[in-house]
Amino acid sequence: MKTLFETRATAVGGRNGHVKSEDGILDLDVRVPTGMGGNGGGFTNPEQLFAAGYSACFDNAIIHVAAMKKVKIQSQTTATVGLAMTDDKSYQLTVALDVTIQGADQATAEEIVTTAHATCPYSNAIKGNVDVNIHVTTEA
């Protein structure tokens, strides 16, 4: 495997701390969300950051697959990421992707999304570890 790009980010203080990318573009305080007993306080959290990265990556995979199939579309991907506790008291992410595609019928849109799911780096990174529920909607 040939690495095409890599980046680094450093966290200090865990879920009530700070994250910063090596180039300083990402430079954020993180907090435990109120839904998990934290104060939230208008700060981001690891699940939000994962949702942002996954939605951008997956949407780009859709755009790429559609271009390869020579189908002109517009797409929007929303990732819902949750943190769950398993029966053995370990933590697990939950993921749902809601995809809206304009410019393709339902069958074509679902084919594009299925191929995108097979090629998206985030999807491949969590394959076999996290169930990803995908819902595809088309608009005229």
Summarize pLDDT for 57-92 with one digit per residue, the tens. 999 999 999 999 999 999 999 999 999 999 999 999
Confidence of residue 39 (pLDDT cuts 50, 70, 90): confident
What is 41-95 written as a DSSP string? TT-B-HHHHHHHHHHHHHHHHHHHHHHHTT---EEEEEEEEEEEE-TTS-EEEEE
**Domains of the chain, first to last:** 1-44 (2.20.25.10), 46-138 (3.30.300.20)
- pLDDT attached to residue 40: 75
Summarize pLDDT for 104-128 with one digit per residue, the tens. 999 999 999 999 999 999 999 999 9
pTM of the model: 0.94
